[in-house]
Amino acid sequence: MHWKYIIVHHTGAEEKNTAQIRNYHRRLGWRDIGYHFVIERDGILVPGRVQCERGAHCAAGNMNGLALGVALIGNFELRAPNPEQLATLDSLLRRLMAEHRISLTGVLGHGEVNGANTACPGRYLDLRALREGLGNGS
Ligand SMILES: [Zn+2]
């Protein structure tokens, strides 16, 4: 796969852990969890679907074939992501951007994708601040 984008999601629910999401996605008949990475509530990063497979996280814009999918567990329409989750997200995005030569403009929230009619990743995940942080070389 040649990844051009990274799409950030919330799961929209307060699942216990990645295994619960994986079981749910498999029950939908998918081969595996739809996201490539999951960041659990305590900031622990858990691999999802292998990176050599197209995702199942954003049908709009053909993004399942163009974008790595990263999901944070939680509903960020109702609460803010935990600081531990944001710290893990920041370092994961830096690593993936470097690995796949993806620029800041390639880091999108699910709802920023043309044709994706969703509040994901939620009003309390501040995408502008996220990208600003990534733009600072720290
Ligand atoms: Zn989403």
Q: Read off φ and ψ for residue 79, nearest 5 degrees.
A: -150, 165
Residue 89 Cα to ligand 1 midpoint, Å, equals: 15
pLDDT digits (tens, 9 = 90+) for 45-97: 999 999 999 999 999 999 999 999 999 999 999 999 999 999 999 999 999 99
Q: Which CATH superfamily is domain 5-135 in?
A: Peptidoglycan recognition protein-like (3.40.80.10)
Q: What is the pTM of this model?
A: 0.95
Task: Tell me the CA–centroid distance for residue 10 and ligand 1, in Å.
Answer: 6
The answer to whether the beta carbons of residues 43 and 85 sit under 8 Å apart is: yes
Q: Give whole-number Cα distances, 125 to 20, 22, 27, 83, in Å.
A: 22, 23, 28, 11
Q: How far is the CA of 120 from the centre of ligand 1 (A)?
A: 5
Give domain limits for the chain. Answer: 5-135
